[in-house]
């Protein structure tokens, strides 16, 4: 169903269905938005914007607070829907709901600290800085965090006084509809949020529409690159891209091998490797203990549980059949390039999109393949010095996350200053990112508009004024 101007409507575009990736059973079906419905959503948002931006901040916050109270009341249902549509295991789904609940407080703090009103004396004048909303912002959500990440854009956008058109992933329509229903139940005025199902054609129509004011996108590098090219024709519109990464994890000068292996394992394979911050490349010193560490990682990976009823259940399926094909093809490409399979990933189970983890040694590979593989695959590279480790960490066009595991704190000081990434962690997973901190990457991982705590920055634009005190 679509949600336009406060009403639920059947889509009039192409038919599509949603499936449970654990079984590939159909769990939802509906239709994309038609061109007319896209226009109707934009017009609805345009009318709503005039009213929403002009009501008091306190009135907006009252509704937003109500939404988050409903999220808390319905957290078990949300968790179950996330599991149903993404295949995430229970702890992973619970974690997403928890991150979502923290979003309001973090977004409100960011709004006040980064986009509030300020003034200062300028001789006989006063310098005043205000912030104003953009207008209609299109939020394009991903499948891997279908509740948390869209609200990472929606909440700061609404606080600032914007209105939203939300286009979720085609893989997670149920979570999206439940989320929008909660916004409806919270009392959000009609037109302030609209929900459109659709493929890239719907996104393109929203991007080009003369009444929309920007795109807030979370997703793949390829889709983000296409959007970046498209939006170059519209410099008057804000574009915030949170893309993927080919993230390095360096292990250097540590005797805590068991702890290191646990961090590597979670960094690489949590959420079945379907997090943009997952470690994709493991960089190790060319010494005997590194081989032992890789062997430990291999054994952990072999013993992963795929039965959701098991207390040791760690990760679920990939999101789709196409994702399985991409995973296996990428693995084959690495091996053809000279990679050595320490552990070869395989399609497992007769139903569902389950694959086993892959570990590929690329140290002696003839070709460097710099791509993000959204799945449970980690590449190994052995180097002879810490400087070489940093060089290898930077051997990518991406720059989202990176990590160092070491007993030497001084090495991290060097690492954090020389490695190009937006999230750089020490002695913890590469996937650890705080909602009270900025989140985003450099290079091909984004367009230098970090989300998280800094989402407030792209949800409002500054207006500088000089006021003569004597008139």
Residue 430 tokens, joined: 């590469």
Residue 242 a catalytic site member: yes
Q: How many Å apart are CA 457 and CA 115, to the nearest integer?
A: 7
Tokens 């407030």, residue located: 456
Tokens 């590597």, residue located: 264
**Annotated catalytic residue within 85, 89, 96, 276:** 276
**Annotated catalytic residue within 85, 89, 177, 242:** 242
Q: Find, among 371, 340, 338, 384, the residue nearest to 358 by Cα.
A: 340
Maximum Cα–Cα distance across the chain? 80
What string of H, E and C letters represents the secondary structure of the chain? CEEECCEEECCCCCEEEEEECCCCEEEEEEECCCHHHHHHHHHHHHHHHHHHHHCCHHHHHHHHHHHHHHHHHCHHHHHHHHHHHHCCCHHHHHHHHHHHHHHHHHHHHHHHHHHCCEEEEECCEEEEEEEEECCEEEEECCCCCCCHHHHHHHHHHHHHCCEEEEECCCCCHHHHHHHHHHHHHCCCCCCCEEECCCCHHHHHHHHHCCCCCEEEEECCHHHHHHHHHHHCCCCCCEEEEECCCCEEEEECCCCCHHHHHHHHHHHHHHHHHCCCCCEEEEEEECCHHHHHHHHHHHHHHHCCECCCCCCCECCCCCCCHHHHHHHHHHHHHHHHCCCEEEECCCEECCCCCEECCEEEECCCCCCCCCCCCCCCEEEEEEECCHHHHHHHHCCCCCCCEEEEECCCHHHHHHHHHHCCCCEEEECCCCCCCCCCCEECCCHHHECCCCEECCHHHHCEEEEEEEEECCC
Q: Give the CA angle between residues 283, 446, 150 to the nearest 5°.
A: 110
Any idea which residues carry the catalytic annotation? 242, 276
């Amino acid at each position: 169903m679509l949600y336009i101007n406060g009403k639920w409507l059947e889509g009039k575009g192409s038919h599509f269905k949603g499936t449970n990736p654990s079984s590939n059973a159909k769990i939802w079906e509906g239709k994309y938005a038609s061109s007319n419905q896209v226009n109707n959503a934009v017009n609805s948002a345009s009318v709503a914007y005039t009213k929403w931006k002009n009501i008091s901040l306190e009135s907006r916050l009252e509704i937003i607070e109500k939404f988050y109270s409903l999220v808390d009341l319905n957290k078990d249902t949300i968790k179950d829907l996330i599991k149903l549509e993404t295949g995430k295991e229970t702890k992973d789904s619970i974690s997403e709901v928890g991150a979502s609940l923290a979003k309001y407080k973090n977004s409100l703090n960011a709004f006040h600290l980064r986009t509030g009103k300020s003034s200062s004396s300028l001789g006989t004048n006063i310098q005043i800085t205000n912030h104003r909303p953009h207008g209609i912002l299109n939020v394009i959500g991903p499948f891997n965090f279908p509740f948390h990440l869209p609200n990472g854009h929606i909440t700061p956008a609404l606080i600032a006084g914007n209105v939203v058109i939300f286009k979720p992933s085609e893989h997670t329509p149920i979570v999206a509809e439940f989320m929008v229903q909660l916004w409806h139940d919270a009392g959000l005025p009609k037109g302030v949020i609209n929900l459109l199902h659709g493929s890239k054609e719907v996104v393109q129509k929203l991007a080009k529409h003369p009444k929309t004011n920007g795109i807030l996108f979370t997703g793949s590098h390829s889709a983000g690159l296409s959007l970046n090219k498209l939006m170059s024709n519209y410099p008057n519109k804000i574009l915030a891209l949170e893309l993927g990464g080919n993230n390095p994890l360096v292990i250097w000068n540590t005797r805590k091998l068991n702890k290191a292996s646990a961090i590597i394992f979670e960094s690489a394979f949590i959420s079945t490797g379907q997090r943009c911050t997952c470690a994709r490349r493991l960089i190790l010193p060319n010494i005997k203990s590194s081989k032992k560490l890789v062997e430990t990682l291999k054994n952990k990976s072999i013993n992963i549980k795929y039965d959701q009823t098991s207390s040791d259940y760690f990760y679920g399926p990939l999101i789709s059949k196409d994702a399985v094909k991409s995973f296996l093809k990428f693995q084959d490409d690495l091996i053809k390039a000279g990679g050595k399979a320490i552990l070869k990933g395989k399609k497992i189970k007769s139903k569902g999109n389950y694959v086993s983890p892959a570990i590929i040694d690329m140290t002696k590979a003839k070709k460097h393949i710099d791509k993000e593989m959204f799945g449970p695959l980690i590449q190994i590279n052995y180097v002879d010095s810490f400087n070489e480790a940093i060089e290898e960490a930077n051997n990518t066009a991406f720059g989202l996350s990176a990590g160092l595991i070491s007993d030497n704190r001084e090495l991290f000081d060097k690492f954090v200053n020389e490695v190009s990434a937006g999230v750089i962690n020490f002695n913890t997973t590469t996937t650890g990112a705080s909602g009270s901190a900025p989140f985003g990457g450099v290079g091909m991982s984004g367009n230098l508009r970090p989300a998280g705590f800094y989402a407030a920055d792209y949800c409002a634009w500054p207006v500088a004024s000089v006021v003569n005190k004597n008139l």
